[in-house]
């Protein structure tokens, strides 16, 4: 088989340069004669690693000094529960903006811990789009406002930051974290599972404004309590050290590539190249409005479920892995996160052209 390109939605492709470095020092990290997986998480070498990882991340994302960076576990689903326990404060309810599957799932979990109001902001159909982003007239009554700027299943992305007045804005950026520059100061909390743009599964990044820490409910489990985790350097329990290490390598690689300005240019070019082909095709179609098309997850269908299944089978055999769409929507989905090179997108398009020529009736 020729080169394989992995379009998995997550766990997703990791930069090959990062994997090669990890491979090279797998059994002899920093000349110690042991793997990074075998050293104490409280030893000087690993403590130095986590300090440098945070420093690199702060530089990449331009994180203000009044924000804390936590490297936790439990994935985004864990944060679905942690958020209301930490943030609900004196205002006993939160507002969730429903743009698709994951924002709805977050709201469902939060209801176990707080009163939740939910507003649907997506109009589904042949031109799926976001319908509303200004909530400044109602947001102040809520402890926080939560949204998901990129819905991986439907391939819908919200590029503008919702207007919420003085309310605390919370974002689940699991699938578009570090994909472009953002103004961190517009958010109270940003959280993301690592397995799409940060590294392997196991680490959950939480960026939280300092003044929001310390108000957790007394029944909040210590592992979800932001204040306890902050004071313990995110290590109230033994952390997933190898995943943390790989994230640190990803941060350094992003810096070496030129930071998020260059990452964003790469991502925009990849997405435009693929969407332009889909729009010109007579076989494939994407049903998301152009202004809300995701740069990370490109969804498309042929309109024939049997033909979609054939596409997935033949593309896999051709070395284009994990193009099957989510079971909720079907069709195909090409996840083109930071690590996916333009060559992968070009290889996919060449296959799509061949498949179209052979199957267009």
The phi, psi pair for 7, rounded to 5°, reads -100, 25
- Going by the annotation, the residues of the binding site for L-glutamate are 42
pTM greater than the 0.85 cutoff: yes
In order of start, what are the domains of the chain with their CATH numbers?
27-257 (3.40.640.10), 259-359 (3.90.1150.10)
Q: Tell whether the model's pLDDT for residue 79 goes beyond 90.
A: yes
Asked if 273 contacts 349 with a C-beta cutoff of 8 angstroms, the reply is yes
pLDDT digits (tens, 9 = 90+) for 167-210: 999 999 999 999 999 999 999 999 999 999 999 999 999 999 99
pLDDT band at 69 (very low <50, low <70, confident <90, very high): very high
The one catalytic residue in 21, 29, 44, 102 is: 102
pLDDT digits (tens, 9 = 90+) for 36-62: 999 999 989 999 999 999 999 999 999
How high is the mean pLDDT of the chain?
96
The one catalytic residue in 29, 56, 196, 308 is: 196
Listed residue (166, 162, 100, 167) closest to 129, CA to CA: 100
pLDDT digits (tens, 9 = 90+) for 230-274: 999 999 999 999 999 999 999 999 999 999 999 999 999 999 999
pLDDT digits (tens, 9 = 90+) for 104-144: 999 999 999 999 999 999 999 888 999 999 999 999 999 99
29 is catalytic: no
pLDDT digits (tens, 9 = 90+) for 281-316: 999 999 999 999 999 999 999 999 999 999 999 999
The one catalytic residue in 172, 224, 270, 324 is: 172
Q: Report how far residue 95's alpha carbon sits from residue 168's, in angstroms, rounded to the nearest whole number.
A: 10
pLDDT digits (tens, 9 = 90+) for 319-352: 999 999 998 889 999 999 999 999 999 999 999 9
pLDDT at 89: 62
93 is catalytic: no
244 is catalytic: no
pLDDT at 327: 87
Q: Tell whether the model's pLDDT for residue 90 goes beyond 60.
A: no
Q: Tell whether the model's pLDDT for residue 215 goes beyond 60.
A: yes
Q: Tell whether the model's pLDDT for residue 91 goes beyond 80.
A: no
- Going by the annotation, the residues of the binding site for pyridoxal 5'-phosphate are 76-77, 102, 152, 172, 195, 237-238
pLDDT at 101: 94
């Amino acid at each position: 088989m020729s080169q394989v390109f992995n379009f998995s939605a997550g766990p997703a492709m990791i930069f090959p340069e990062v994997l090669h470095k990890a491979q090279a020092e797998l059994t002899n990290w920093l000349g110690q004669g042991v793997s990074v997986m075998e050293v104490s998480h409280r030893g000087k070498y690993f403590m130095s690693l986590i300090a440098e990882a945070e420093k690199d991340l702060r530089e990449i994302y331009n994180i203000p000094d009044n924000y804390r960076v936590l490297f936790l576990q439990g994935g985004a689903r864990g944060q679905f529960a942690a958020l209301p326990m930490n943030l609900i404060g004196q205002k006993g309810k939160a507002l969730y903006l429903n743009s698709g599957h994951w924002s709805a799932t977050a709201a469902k979990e939060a209801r176990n811990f707080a009163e939740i109001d939910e507003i649907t902001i997506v109009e589904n159909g042949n031109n799926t789009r976001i319908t509303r982003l200004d909530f400044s007239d109602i947001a102040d009554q809520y402890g926080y406002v939560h949204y998901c700027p990129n819905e991986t299943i439907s391939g819908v992305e919200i590029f503008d930051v919702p207007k919420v007045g003085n309310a605390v804005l919370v974002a689940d950026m699991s699938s578009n974290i570090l994909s472009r520059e953002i103004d961190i100061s517009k958010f109270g909390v940003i959280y993301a599972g690592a397995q799409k743009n940060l590294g392997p599964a196991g680490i959950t990044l939480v960026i939280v404004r300092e003044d929001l820490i310390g108000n957790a409910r007394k029944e909040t489990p210590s592992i979800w309590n932001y204040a306890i985790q902050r004071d313990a350097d995110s290590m109230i329990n033994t952390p997933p050290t190898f995943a943390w290490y790989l994230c640190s390598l990803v941060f350094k690689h992003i810096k070496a590539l030129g930071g998020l300005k260059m990452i964003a240019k790469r991502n925009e070019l990849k997405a435009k190249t693929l969407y332009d082909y889909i729009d010109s095709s007579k076989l494939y179609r994407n049903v998301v409005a152009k202004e809300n098309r995701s740069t990370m997850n490109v969804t498309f269908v042929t309109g024939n479920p049997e033909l979609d299944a054939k596409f997935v089978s033949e593309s896999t055999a051709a070395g284009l892995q994990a193009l099957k769409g989510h079971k909720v929507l079907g069709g195909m989905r090409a996840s083109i996160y930071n690590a996916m090179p333009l060559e992968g997108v070009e290889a996919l398009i060449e296959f799509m052209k061949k498949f179209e020529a052979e199957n267009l009736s």
